[in-house]
Structure 1
Amino acid sequence: MEPSGGEQEPGAVRLLDLPWEDVLLPHVLSRVSLCQLLRLQRVSRAFRALVQLHLAGLRRFDAAQVGPQIPRAALAWLLRDAERLQELALAPCHEWLSDEDLVPVLARNPQLRSVALAGCGQLSRRTLGALAEGCPRLQRLSLAHCDWVDGLALRGLADRCPALEELDLTACRQIKDEAIVYLAQRRGAGLRSLSLAVNANVGDTAVQELARNCPELEHLDLTGCLRVGSDGVRTLAEHCPALRSLRVRHCHHVAEPSLSRLRKRGVDIDVEPPLHQALVLLQDMAGFAPFVNLQV
């Protein structure tokens, strides 16, 4: 432990005189936000050494704790010694985060289980390759609004991430049915949550293959998937007994009869039944809620 330095009254105990590994790290710095840590490390060399020791043992890093925007230099300093990360969230870095920034971090943290890169549009397949090769325990991955994600990148994940359970591909518009079919066949058995929202390239072929290969699927988001229709939803109802929520808003080819079986099972669906929609519309037009016996 580095000495605290400076003058102090006889018998007085300074913060840095307390045991670092036994007291300060587990009971003090663990309760300090990343933003405050950045300020603390500027106080003195001793505090800087203490903060660096704490950061080296981090299990969870969320850049949002620093603020809505984090400078590249700050991120590099915060993560330069981290080798035990299990969760990594970097959405606030979306405007500038590159492969050169991220790949070395992934290489030093093979224990990663959750990675959130939503909106990080400057990355490429190289990052997913590093994830697939170096993080075999990866369970949760968010790539929402990452336009660079394509079928080839997704195949690499499907081949090398056996523990994958949750995947967010919202607005990854290069992804087509073929890539989702491959994902379902390779990793469907363990997949529990998947978002394919806002992708007009995804249709019933992908949904049906997911249904047949993902018996543990609990959450599926198909919002805005214009090519998805009732056939895909019926297959979900038949083959996905664990399904708890389904998002099909703006899927104009999905009809109520295909959803009714899921409703009877208690699946949370974001589209109201036609009768309920009609009542809401009537209330808006008439200014009151008419009494209707829904049991008739």
Structure 2
Amino acid sequence: MNADQPEDDQENQCDNFGGKLKGGDDLNTDQLIKFVHGEDKVKVNKLLLLPWDDVLFPYILDHLTWKDLYLLRSVSRSMMDLVHCYLSSLLVVDLAKIGKRFTLQAFGVLSANCYNLRILNLYKCKWISNDLLQNIIEQNPHLTHLNISCCLSVNNNCLQRLAINCKGLKSIQLKECCWTNAIAVAHLALNCPLLEEVDLTSCWEITDDSAIALVIRCPNLRRLSLSNIYGITDSVLMNVAAQSKNLEYLNISGCWHITDYGVRLIGENCKKLERLEVFGCSEVTERSLAFLRLRGVKIDIQPPQRPRLTLFLRHAMGH
């Protein structure tokens, strides 16, 4: 990393770069690319002499799009080193909004240079390969949040590697990862006791036993989704009620075997519950939901409408 420059010298070099480093205006990335492509190498070298961590990263690179960042990387060896060093400093990588346009090659650059990540969001990055995902997991042992929902080209080896390597994991989102099996979830339960948020929506192979192991081993759960896992029964809810005292959100929609008994236990024991989703649970009725509604818990299905008093009176009077 470059040594800090004298304060006056830093100010002059910022002025030479159009004043953008002072944070007054949005960075014009086209001007930046033209600048570093220009013939005046002295100015480019002055730019690189600025403190990277304190100036270049927060005031320039943080404002670039991924496309511009990769364009900058391609300009010269010095710019490549700058971008790679920037990538190594990142705590968050969120590709959820641009995942469809990202490529394996571009992610390969990320996985080779990111090793301080805390949050990695790869939602709907269907192109991600098993090897690349395992590589970035292995290089980031301090990862706390991982979202690989709708990633269909990876397998349970990644989850087992995650469980072994990232024991401080707090959030794992696996929505529609139908390849997820009970053994992988058991590994997560055994190795990641700090988990607070788990989304297993449509992970059909999850069993009662693996879900119960997760609940017992992870007492700090605040958000849990077991939606559309058709084999889940009241046995899981019994353990949730006994173990998950901090639970705020529970999604069991589409779990056909859940009944009023399990939901009633949740209502009686999970005092911090704020939202419950039970759409499609045909055995769950107002017998268990009414108490939760009185507590102010938001539920995804509306209560049955009460008959109007006038209609009741007419019926009672025989009209």
Instruction: Give TM class, smaller chain.
Output: 0.7 to 0.9
Residues 199 and 226 in structure 2, CA contact (< 8 A), matched pair in contact too: yes
Match of 1:213 in 2: 243
Aligned partners of 1:70 and 1:92 also within 8 Å: no
Secondary structure of the residue aligned to 2:198 is strand
Which moves more between the two structures, 152-161 or 67-76? 67-76
Identity, % of aligned positions: 35
Whichever residue aligns with residue 128 of structure 1, its letter is L
Residues 99, 125 of structure 2: 8 Å contact kept: no
Contact 1:35-1:67 at 8 Å conserved across structures: no
1:64 aligns with 96
Superposed CA offset, 1:245-281 (max 9, x none) = 00001111101121011111100101111017x89xx
Structure 2 equivalent of residue 120 of structure 1: 151
Instruction: Give the aligned partner of residue 190 of structure 1.
Output: 220
28, 46, 62: which one pairs with 2:78? 46
Residue 115 of structure 2: aligned partner: 83
* 3-state secondary structure, aligned to 1:275: coil
**What TM-score comes out, normalization by structure 2 length?**
0.80
Match of residue 33 from structure 2? none
Distance, in Å, in 2 between the alignment partners of 1:144 and 1:101 is 20
Q: Which moved more, 1:235-244 or 1:267-276?
A: 267-276
Gap regions ≥5 residues in structure 2: 3-35, 312-319
RMSD: 2.7
Alignment of 1:54-203 (within 5 A): 54-64=86-96, 66-94=98-126, 96-187=127-218, 189-203=219-233
Q: Which amino acid aligns with 1:224?
A: G
SS in structure 1 of the partner of residue 271 of structure 2: coil
Instruction: Tell whether the 8 Å contact from 2:241 to 2:269 is kept in structure 1 after alignment.
Output: yes
Unaligned runs of 5+ in 1: 280-289
2:241 maps to amino acid: A
Task: Indicate conservation of the 8 Å contact 1:90/1:117, yes or no.
Answer: yes
1:21 deviation in Å?
A: 3.0
Q: Which residue of 1 aligns with 2:276?
A: 246
- What CA distance in whole angstroms lies between the structure 1 residues aligned with 2:41 and 2:104? 41
The structure-2 alpha-carbon separation of the partners of 1:121 and 1:183, relative to structure 1 and needing over 3 Å to count, comes to same
Counterpart in the other structure of 2:293: 263
Contact 2:37 2:75 in 1 (8 A): no
Provide the C-alpha distance between the structure 2 equivalents of 1:9 and 1:84, rounded to a whole number of angstroms.
32
* Contact 1:33–1:65 under 8 Å retained in 2: no
Contact 1:216 1:242 in 2 (8 A): yes
Matched positions, count: 279
CA change 1:19–1:183 in 2 (3 A) is closer
* 1:232 matches 2:262: yes
Q: Contact conserved, 2:99 with 2:122, CA < 8 A, in 1? A: no
Counterpart of 1:47, as a letter, is M
Give 4+ residue runs of structure 1 displaced > 4 Å after superposition.
4-7, 9-14
> Match for 1:229: what amino acid?
T
| Deviation digits for residues 44-65 of structure 1 (CA, Å, limit 9, x no counterpart) | 3332221111011110011235
For residue 18 of structure 2, what is the aligned residue in structure 1? Answer: none
